[in-house]
Amino acid sequence: MSPALIALLPFIGALLPGLLIRSGRTVAATACGTATFLALLGLLLHIPAIMRGEIILARFDWLPLIQLNANFRIDGLALLFAILILGIGLLIILYARFYLSRSDSIGKFYTYLMLFQGAMVGIVLSDNILLLLIFWELTSLSSFLLIGYWRHLPEGRQGARMALTVTGMGGLAMIAGMLILGRIAGSYDISDILNAKEAIQASPHYTTALILILIGAFTKSAQFPFHFWLPHAMAAPTPVSAYLHSATMVKAGLFLMARLWPVLAGTEQWFWIVGTTGLITMTLGAVIATFKDDLKALLAFSTVSHLGLITMLLGFGTEAAAIAAVFHIINHATFKAALFMTAGIIDHETGTRSIARLGGLRKLMPVTFLIGTVAALSMAGIPPLNGFLSKEMMLYEVSHLEMARQIFMVVATFAALFSVCYSLRFIVQVFLGDARDDYPHHPHDPGFGMWAGPGLLTVLVVLIGLFPNTMAGWLVDASASAVTGHAAHAHISLWHGVNAALIMSMIAVAGGAILLSMHRPLLSAWNGAPRPEAKAIFDWIVLRCVLAGRAVTDGVTNGSMPRALAAFTLTTLFAGVFAWFTGETGTFSRPMLPVHPVPFIGWLMLMVATGCMVFFHRVRVLALVLVGIVGLVTSVFFGYFSAPDLALTQISVEVVTVILLLLALNFLPKRTLTETSSVHRGWDAFIATLAGLGFGSLTYAVLRSDFAFPTISSYMLENSYKLGGGDNVVNVILVDFRGYDTFGEITVLGIAALAIFALTQTLLEGRSARRLTNWVHEQRRAGDRHPLILVIATRVILPISLVVGLYIFLRGHNEPGGGFIAGLVVAIALLMQYMASGYAWAQDRQRLPYHALIGAGVVAAGVTGIGAWFNGRPFLTSDYGYIKLPFLEEFELATAMGFDLGVFLCVVGAVMLALNSLSRIARKAGETVNKRPMDIDLSSEQPKETT
């Protein structure tokens, strides 16, 4: 199975719960489980090839010009993480089916879960760092939805916001670091980056890229000082905690460090930043976990501690430490997912997660006791379980550090001591002791569906501990080889003799047991000791940022659009001036062209019309006329500079705009009131003058300068006919070279027209409707509202205009024209019918719904683009050929005509739907001149009769 399909299957699975939930919770869970199982099966089929040292690749050129390629790879490291994500995900799907109550929307839950699963699989299988960044941010968004799934809980909402804020900010830093890394390596493909170690570590930007990337990894994996978000995410349902915070999301940062280990590790910066951060996190998490009362909080901080352990091992930069880190990733995922699900079972059956209210569950819940005890002993590092093996490997690596780094050995032993304490506390204070009679619910073991998942993981804990090389050695070798960049062989066994690691382990176990016996007085001292609270610090920082942002926003905008525009304009001018004086401007080597009288007169008319529009803009009709003049003169300039397409487009747009705005002004006051003082208007004029001078200077500099790089226009001119089959470069650009952009534009145009149509509905109801019914025009109207000559002329012109529109449409690929201009021409012809014969007459004869025209246009453009896929070409790639029909000359036929048809339909539909909106308002107003004369106060609901 292709790696791309493996990454896609969870996203397909995310579509199923919403469709199948009405068939029952079991059906929805089965659908998600099937998608996950198929992805896992497809992954496992690659194991033989991976064990032979092969790398499975799937490459798709997405945006090759910016090296954003949809490349996927499966090597040993990707195999390890994908097995954890999909395998444990399969168990979580089963567990959630029985854990969530009937009141929980399980369809929504499974959708979020599968989205997150797909994002995580995408991260570990990505072979392009830009693609990895997309999946990285998707994990933050989908985890936000999962953590805040119980949105009725304030702590759930806050935990989701905190996780999104911390991991999102880290993701922004990581984006910058990845871009620097790709720039150093000369490629954004991970396969190429992993072969550029010398260039990367020799670069002066290595440290900057390293720090930025590590910020992203540390925030995602809850490393100090970003560790605080993970415990607050425990407000999520237990299936989320078991999945995100033991096997998947928090492992993303570890994966990133392991993936880039071959090129980033081995330097002093890497050792001290990564190793020290891991050591601090490991110790701090273990100490805090020891004194937590909530079961999930204890497990959350223990997760923080173990993530720090793995980070520390990766920071050592040695092959043996990398092997130990990979092995502990496997072990931690097994026992910690089992422990989280065990905590969920206890909460589900007893009604509480407070350790103070628990105890004596050994006899009441024997199956849960067995699962929880084995998993907790593995977490403590007790032989012969798997946690003991990787803990010993960690202690061995710490004990063999250089003398200057021996502080790691002391602190790691101290952290391991607390790890034993909180693990034993999970067993002793929850399961042992006498049974109580004050549980919120009567506890008992759940059904098979809830304990099957943690039970299977516990079996793996035992089997990996007893037969490590058989059960996990092959996977450790494959993944460690991918981390180190060369073949690695792990030597895992229960007994290595009496060495420093064993002595340190014995000290940790004995010390942890002693510490547990002293837990009560130590807990009192812990609660009474002053210490910084991470959540309080975070809340304080967020509050100050919000207040600062609000102060800046209110100071700049104050809800005033003129002030906001002034701030934006001044900022743009400042940036332009700064770039001008600090950058390379080149020389003005192009000569000035001669100025002829006719263009000069046109330019003078343009300036006069623009100036008059500034001075008379409060008279709305006059301002509209002046806007039309400016547009028409601009179209003349387009024609003068040999741009007939732009000229035709500009004229058509001006006519349509002026007509629509003229009809809209019919319902508005004729003048705009003066709302600002002369001082404000003077300030606005000053800013506008600066902006005009700035952009005029920029235009002058561009036109007079010769650039060292080729312009894009030369490419378009050379390849217009060769690649697009058209001589009209403008049309080929719109329907071929940047067809995707045009497709987005017509879609937005259609959405805007539909939004206008929907908004007018508010004017046809309630208070607005009553005011329209009583509205009387401010000025007297002519008695002949529909002059016969105009009516006849427009009806005669209509078929001619339609033929002209068809002609412009058909010639557009090789001559000035195209779907956009043709749509405007046809729209003008239809607009004239409304103007000549009235809204009611035209609407009554409307045969095609304009909504349908917009939809048909988008579909036509989309189907044309999809057609390229059947020829193995990218979306919206056009093709052309020559056809000879009987009795006709040979002519060209291009697939771009279908796309252009979509543009045509969207333009006609959008313009006419906007007119239809005005028509509805006019018909509501009555369109009658037979009302009694009234003085209408538009601010009042009731008219006042003239006396």
d(CA 257, CA 757): 52
Q: Predicted confidence band at 375 (pLDDT cuts at 50, 70, 90)? A: very high
d(CA 344, CA 324): 30
Mapped onto helix, strand or coil, the DSSP state of residue 213 is: helix
Mean pLDDT of the chain: 85
Do the Cβ atoms of 192 and 185 come closer than 8 Å? yes
pLDDT tens across 679-729, in order?
A: 888 888 889 889 988 888 888 888 887 765 667 787 888 888 887 778 888
Residue 559 zone, left/alpha/beta (φ > 0; ψ -120 to 50; rest): left
d(CA 133, CA 118): 14
Least confident of 21-30, 492-501, 808-817: 492-501
d(CA 352, CA 365): 15
d(CA 362, CA 540): 43
d(CA 625, CA 442): 82
Residue 932 pLDDT: 40
pLDDT tens across 416-453, in order?
A: 999 999 999 999 988 888 777 778 888 888 888 888 88
**Pairing mode, strands 880-883 and 56-58:** unpaired
Q: Tell me the residue type at 75.
A: D
d(CA 542, CA 560): 26
**Six-digit token string for 407:** 């502080």
DSSP state letters, 381-417: T-TTSHHHHHHHHHHHHHHTS-GGGTHHHHHHHHHHH
Highest mean pLDDT among 122-126, 236-240, 654-658, 825-829: 122-126
**Six-digit token string for 842:** 């035209």
d(CA 439, CA 365): 13
Distance of CA 419 to the CA centre of its chain: 37
Mean pLDDT of 214-224: 91
Least confident of 329-343, 649-663, 914-928: 914-928
Q: Predicted confidence band at 116 (pLDDT cuts at 50, 70, 90)? A: very high
pLDDT tens across 281-315, in order?
A: 999 999 999 998 889 889 989 999 999 999 999 99
d(CA 444, CA 349): 6
Residue 929 pLDDT: 40
Do the Cβ atoms of 839 and 919 come closer than 8 Å? yes
Least confident of 87-91, 230-234, 368-372: 230-234
Residue 947 pLDDT: 34
d(CA 312, CA 744): 48
d(CA 463, CA 43): 22
- Domains of the chain, by residue range, sit at 275-517, 587-672, 728-947
Residue 758 pLDDT: 80
Residue 938 pLDDT: 35
For residue 914, give the nearest of 859, 845, 834, 844 by alpha carbon.
834
Mean pLDDT of 136-141: 92
CB atoms within 10 A of CB 836: 21
Residue 775 pLDDT: 61
Position 946 pLDDT exceeds 60: no
For residue 250, give the nearest of 213, 219, 221 by alpha carbon.
221
Position 393 pLDDT exceeds 70: yes
Residue 773 pLDDT: 63
Q: Which residue has the higher pLDDT, 927 or 245?
A: 245
d(CA 672, CA 622): 12
Give ∠ CA 713-718-720 in degrees, rounded to 5.
85
Residue 750 pLDDT: 87
pLDDT tens across 861-900, in order?
A: 888 888 888 877 777 777 777 777 777 676 677 888 888 8
Tell me how far CA of residue 220 lies from CA of 65, 248, 310, 537, in angstroms: 30, 10, 14, 19
Residue 580 pLDDT: 80
Residue with tokens 């340190």: 504
Q: Tell me the residue type at 131.
A: L
Position 928 pLDDT exceeds 50: no
DSSP 593: P
d(CA 284, CA 278): 10
pLDDT tens across 588-628, in order?
A: 777 888 888 888 888 888 888 888 888 888 888 888 888 88
Tell me how far CA of residue 240 lies from CA of 147, 248, 249, 282, 285, in angstroms: 7, 10, 10, 23, 20
pLDDT tens across 827-866, in order?
A: 888 888 877 887 777 777 777 788 888 889 989 888 888 8
